[in-house]
Amino acid sequence: MKTLYSIVGWYGLVAVITAYVLTTFSFLSVEHPLIPILNFTGAAGVAIASFRKNAYEPAVMNVIWAGIGLVALAKILL
């Protein structure tokens, strides 16, 4: 189970950084649905891994970040 949390955390890190790179270097617009999907799933992954390690500060920050990603996705799709 420890390995699963580690994989989820690493996925989260890669997803959030990928979203940042894609928008910063203008590969994708922030309005592209992939960006909030990466932000939501990535932040959720980091939050899960952080809660598992009792690292509450990054966990809370990433729960908020995931919420922002979810709202952004809803705004794009609706």
1 — pLDDT class (breaks 50, 70, 90): confident
Question: How many angstroms separate the CA atoms of 75 and 61, rounded?
Answer: 21
pLDDT digits (tens, 9 = 90+) for 50-70: 999 999 999 999 999 999 999
pLDDT tens digits, one per residue of 12-34: 999 999 999 999 999 999 999 99
Distance CA 47, CA 9 (A): 8
Can you give the pLDDT at residue 9? 97
Of 43 and 1, which is predicted with more confidence?
43
Using CA atoms, how far apart are residues 25 and 68, in angstroms rounded to an integer? 21
